[in-house]
Structure 1
Amino acid sequence: MPVARLKFRFRLIVKEEYQPLRNVPRWLWLLMATAIAAQIAFSVLLLPQPKPKISALHQPPSALFLQAVSLGDPLALGRILMMNLQAHDNQQGLSIPFRELDYDVLGQWLDRIVSLDEKAEYPHFSAAKIYSFVSNEERQNKMIEWVRRHFARSPDTRWEWMAHMTNLARHTLKNNALALEMAKEMRDLTTPGKVPGWVRQTEAFILEEEEEYEASASLLAGLLEAGEVTDPTEFEFLLRRLEDIIDKQVKSGEIRTQAQIKEKTRTLESLQARFLSQYQEPTKEVNKPQ
């Protein structure tokens, strides 16, 4: 026996079936407006407003644990952790000021990230140019110490961040004693030729600002005599700078005797002769006609 096919009949809705709005009773309009107003008032005035809660920066896992869970790809895990750390100051629509962060824990997180990728630059960039950008001297000093500690592990590749933090101590914190310590570390730990010359000259310039003219002059003269400066323009600039420092020594009374003046003059003449012998273009001989 054949199965009867089910037939569905769809009713088409045509515009003639709609009622015009003018036919809606006024009391229904009033009721709808009252309901909407009550809903808005209830939501705004009676319902408790959500209060975002700031989540504290928790302690990072141990370096051994992170190495284990990296599954043989510590570089990728380091980047993920860095992005997660960078996003911590934005929670539930809140922008958390850096002054609310625990900088001791922050430094530990940066340590873990560097342990996963020793060549990563972004942790050092973040410490030097992001997390140090806070109006809090204590937190700035913690970032300075973090950069100093990691600079000592690889001076020739991390000098840029150390130089930036030296300027922070010098110009923002107005702590020339700290800046001088850091400049000395840059000169002692970096390798000549592997870092820009000004990095190793920073100590001499700070000493000049501190009116330690003799120490500044000795450092500049030593750098020039050691042959560290290979660019002729830079050599001439430092030579003129050394001459200016010696003039300051004379004006300040630090150099008084003729013997001292002659000694300084001989130093300048020796360096000038070295400059001319190394960088002056040799005179080309002109062949005379036979």
Structure 2
Amino acid sequence: MRLPARLAAARTPTRPLRAVPVGVQGAFALALTAQLLWYGFAPTPSSERHALPPAPPVSLLRVSAFGEPAALARAGTLWLQYFDQQPGHSVPYRELDYGRLRAWLDRWLMLAPTSEYPLSLAVRLYGQVSDPSRQRIMLDFVHEAFLEDPGARWRWLAESTLLAKHRLEDLDLALRYARDLAEHTEGMDVPYWARDLQILLLEDMGEYEAARILIGGLLASGEIEDPREVRFLERRLEALSQGE
């Protein structure tokens, strides 16, 4: 049966293989052979764990950023966050070199000082590992970062204070953080619960007299204008007096 002329014209003509130039056939054969050899002799993906490399100088990272340090910091922080996910392995955080980890977090924070991502990772991810020495490294990193910019980073030191109290059970360290938090944020727009953490810690440590003196000094200074904070301090002072 013959096809209609319109359909016959639309058919794509098929040429025999011998019509293809010899050079084209040879190039195709070489490309196919090279591809087969590549897959046949290529090394299998390594399943060996890789250690976290040392952090380079921040000056080198700035040069590598090509004028976009914040963008490099975001990409670098993501790379660091997922470094534990390696081909064939999931590396536990407690097996990472926390000295190098801290250095990387510090580099990314220096490139993007307004970013809170490195501080968040330090407190909420790496600081949660069940290893006190590694936790202390992360808390110390957050504490130093806070001292550089208390007004923007107070919340991370507040979380570090609670972490030191409840996870490390180190009330002395928690109190040191709480005192720095109160001292370095004086006059700033910081909620009173954060500034007054030291009062609760003094109570937990049984330092009731010190807590009363601190509260009395805060109330007498006249610097506290928030009525909610005043009521909180007055209730704490009354509770301490009744407890005695």
1:113 to 104, 108, 120: 108
In the alignment, is the contact (CA less than 8 A) between 1:74 and 1:116 conserved in 2? Answer: yes
Q: How does 1:45-124 map to 2 (within 5 A)?
A: 52-124=47-119
Match of 2:186 among 187, 191, 203: 191
1:1-290 correspondence runs (5 A): 52-249=47-244
Residue 175 to residue 8, structure 1, CA distance change in 2 (3 Å): closer
CA distance in 2, matches of 1:85, 1:50: 21
Could you tell me how far 1:222 is from its partner in structure 2? 1.8
Runs of 4 or more above 4 Å deviation? 7-10
**Separation in 2 of the partners of 1:192 and 1:125?**
25
Question: Contact 2:119–2:156 at 8 Å: present in 1 too?
Answer: yes
Cα drift, residue 51 of structure 1 = 6.8
3-state secondary structure, aligned to 1:242: helix
Computing the radius of gyration from Cα coordinates, the structure with the larger value is 1
Q: 1:204 touches 1:219 (CA, 8 Å); kept in 2? A: yes
Q: Counterparts of 1:191 and 1:118 in 2: how far apart (Å)?
A: 22
Q: 1:254: which partner in 2? A: none
Q: Which has the higher contact order (CA 8 A, sep 6+)?
A: 2
Distance in 1 of aligned mates of 2:15 and 2:119: 72
Q: Aligned equivalents of 2:188 and 2:115: distance in 1? A: 23
> What is the CA-CA distance between 1:228 and the residue it aligns to?
3.8
For 1:242 and 1:8, the matched residues in 2 are separated by: 96
CA-CA distance at 1:50 after TM superposition: 7.7
**Contact 1:193–1:228 (CA<8 Å) still a contact in 2?**
no
CA distance in 1, matches of 2:113, 2:229: 33
> 1:171 deviation in Å?
1.0
For structure 2, which runs of at least 5 residues remain unmatched after alignment?
A: 1-12, 17-43
- Specify whether residues 223 and 91 from structure 1 end up closer, same or farther in structure 2 by C-alpha distance, changes over 3 A only: same
Amino acid at match of 2:92: P
Distance 2:49 2:122 in 1: 22
- Cα 1:133–1:8 change in 2 (3 A) is closer
Tell me the TM-score normalised to structure 2 length. 0.79
Asked whether the 8 Å contact 2:46–2:87 carries over to 1, the reply is no
1:58 alignment partner, SS class: coil
Q: Structure 1's 93 and 224: CA in aligned 2 closer, same or farther, altered over 3 A?
A: farther
AA in 1 matched with 2:234: L
Instruction: State the distance in 2 between where 1:185 and 1:87 align.
Output: 32
Change (3 A) 1:241 1:73: same
* Amino acid across the alignment from 1:97: P
| Matched-pair contact (CA < 8 Å) for 1:213–1:248 | no
Which whole-Å CA distance do the structure 2 matches of 1:152 and 1:77 have between them? 24
In 2, Cα distance between the equivalents of 1:71 and 1:111? 20
In 2, the alpha carbon distance for the partners of 1:195 and 1:9 equals 80
Structure 1: give runs of 5+ residues left out of the alignment.
1-6, 11-48, 250-290
- CA–CA distance in 2 between the matches of 1:228 and 1:135? 41
What is the letter of the counterpart of residue 214 of structure 1? Answer: E
Preserved CA contact (<8 Å) 1:156 1:191: no
Distance in 1 separating the partners of 2:155 and 2:228: 22
- In structure 1, C-alpha distance between the alignment counterparts of 2:72 and 2:232, rounded to whole Å: 47
Give 1:213 deviation, angstroms.
Answer: 1.1
> Following the alignment from structure 1 to structure 2, what is the Cα–Cα distance between the partners of residues 230 and 202?
18
Note the alpha carbon deviations across 1:211-244, whole angstroms, 9 max, x for none: 1111101111222222343332332232121011
Letter in 1 for 2:128: F
